[in-house]
Structure 1
């Protein structure tokens, strides 16, 4: 964890559980609301949730109480959100895996996020990067593709786990380029990066913040970002699309959700408020310090994005073997 990110997490963790609102809200006798954060306190997603909640409370005239509900890869908190009153008093943070990937996995629960939740706004993108170890001899995407096609047993890559956004990004790359990239799941980005640094693994796809210090030190080579654009956090790193796979884009993100029956007028109001927050320079600096990129989509556009992403991962996961 970088010192900047550590300071940001400590500052956000110091925010009170009840996120302050304006005097008008406090005197209006409106009961406190709840912001469900389905991740552990102190994680980047917790910081993003608290940052958005701190700005949103005054705009919707309701105190928002941060409520961390980690579990089931972010799904546990969202199932609670789906059963909450649809009056704007309970909102929640959701991320890629729980919303558009997990529902299509073989062991998925009956929970259907797109049917049971109301998308309100996309808030941030989480940059993912494919990296190679210094001893691997891999320096760019053509190197990776050529080696993966030439090796009889393929070229191994590590990720945070099976069916993570990182895993599916490289599966998509392998299929697009018809190269043999073999998945090795790890329990998080840090151990995968450790094995690449040690020369035990040639490649890993991880969140940028886990690899950036090593990229800057020259001990990891940045092959490419999986998203469709370069990251503000590391503008010198090209995208995979720039590296030779036009149109390639796989993103990880975080957004704000409510219960499915939330009225349209309330969806619009909350979406506009989040757009104002993400546009503020202080909020943008805060999101960047948490190793995320400010990336707002309003509620209607976010819903269309989620529908397309869900269909994309449903189709891909439907064709995967358990060992791919």
Structure 2
């Protein structure tokens, strides 16, 4: 784990240095609010985008890390910022389309208080099993969970995270008897899978990649609509067990609500150029993210669909009325 964290931190520092090297004194000031801790993969993604947008929008976007409340704290700051293009921010699945439908998250309404600008990247999620469990496929998981009255336990980054709801969706589709064990992040869940105290986990790929490569955990499936470029040999859930299944963890670019339409279009076009740049793709892959662009209009529709979907799923769990 320490090695993985060091690699992510080094990549993030490299990206930050690149951004600083591109700063020109004539550029207008800008702020990129990042609702994640410095050094995390999501922080690296945000800094890649900030570095690419700077010269295209004639701004020096300075990173402003505001972690807390599952990403909601930083987005709340963004919502109160000037809607003039000088302040942008990144947001992810949980804070934008899941948390608002939970009892603790209903005071902040991202789809009303923020202006979607572009989807920028997907964060691959993977379902893993311990090497000593004998579980080799998702079909094995479903069968064993049904044969054992106690079911099979799985770890995630926490209740109502994308990792958790990916497993809830899998259980609903297959009838598997899966028991959730929430952790504070992917790393401790992976640690318990390695130790044999937990049979399964649904985590971000970056937390499991080194162990997959070492053969110390078994990658059962990725949750997205297609295989990950970072682990092309691992099947999707749709291939392995549930046709049509897809759960994505993504990152997007946002501004405050009221950002003028023409400005949203301009920033969205600039973002498309950033994401299409091969150097950007290499930088994103280095922090275990994959380019996945949608313009502001398509991103807004995507968010509305995702929000409605997770509201329905949470409703079946008794989390909302």
TM-score, normalised by the number of residues in structure 2 = 0.94
Among candidates 192, 198, 203, match of residue 201 of structure 1: 198
1:1-324 maps to which residues of 2 (within 5 A)?
Answer: 1-2=3-4, 4-14=7-17, 20-21=22-23, 25-26=26-27, 30=28, 32-321=29-318
Instruction: State the alpha-carbon separation in 2 of the partners of residues 4 and 107 from structure 1.
Output: 34
Secondary structure in structure 1 of the residue aligned to 2:159 = coil
C-alpha displacement of 1:59: 1.0
Quote the Cα distance in structure 2 between the aligned partners of 1:69 and 1:194.
27
Please report how far the alpha carbon of residue 311 of structure 1 lies from its aligned counterpart in structure 2 after TM superposition: 0.5
SS at match of 2:255: strand
1:5 Cα deviation from its structure 2 partner:
3.5
Q: Does the CA-based 8 Å contact 1:19-1:64 persist in structure 2?
A: no
Q: Aligned partners of 2:106 and 2:302: how far apart in 1?
A: 22
Pairwise CA distance, 1:102 = 0.7
Compute the displacement of 1:84 (Å): 1.1
Structure 2, unpaired ranges of 5+: none
8 Å Cα contact 1:86/1:261 also seen in 2: yes
Q: Secondary structure at the match of 1:318?
A: helix
Q: How many Å separate the matches in 2 of 1:246 and 1:194?
A: 30
2:103 partner SS: coil
Deviations 1:202-259 (A, max 9, x none): 1000111111111111111111001110001111110010002101000101110001
Contact preservation (8 Å) 2:85, 2:263 = yes
Secondary structure (helix, strand or coil) at the match of 2:111 reads helix
CA contact (8 A) 1:126 1:291 kept: yes
CA deviations on 1:42-101 (whole Å, 9 max, x unpaired) are 111111111111110111112212111111111111111111111111110111111011
Q: SS of the counterpart of 1:236? A: coil
Tell me, in whole angstroms, the C-alpha distance in 2 between the residues paired with 1:47 and 1:214. Answer: 22
3-state secondary structure, aligned to 2:254 = strand
Distance (whole Å) between structure 2 residues aligned to residue 9 and residue 262 of structure 1: 29
**C-alpha root-mean-square deviation of aligned residues, in Å?**
1.6
Contact 1:86/1:258, CA 8 A, preserved across alignment: yes
Answer whether contact 1:123 1:256 (CA < 8 A) is retained: yes
CA contact (8 A) 2:224 2:236 kept: yes
How far is 1:315 from its partner? 1.1
Q: Deviations over 1:135-172 (max 9, x none)?
A: 11100011011011111011111111111100000000
Do the aligned partners of residues 96 and 137 (structure 1) sit closer, same or farther apart at CA in structure 2, a change above 3 Å counting?
Answer: same
Deviation at 1:271, TM superposition (A): 0.5
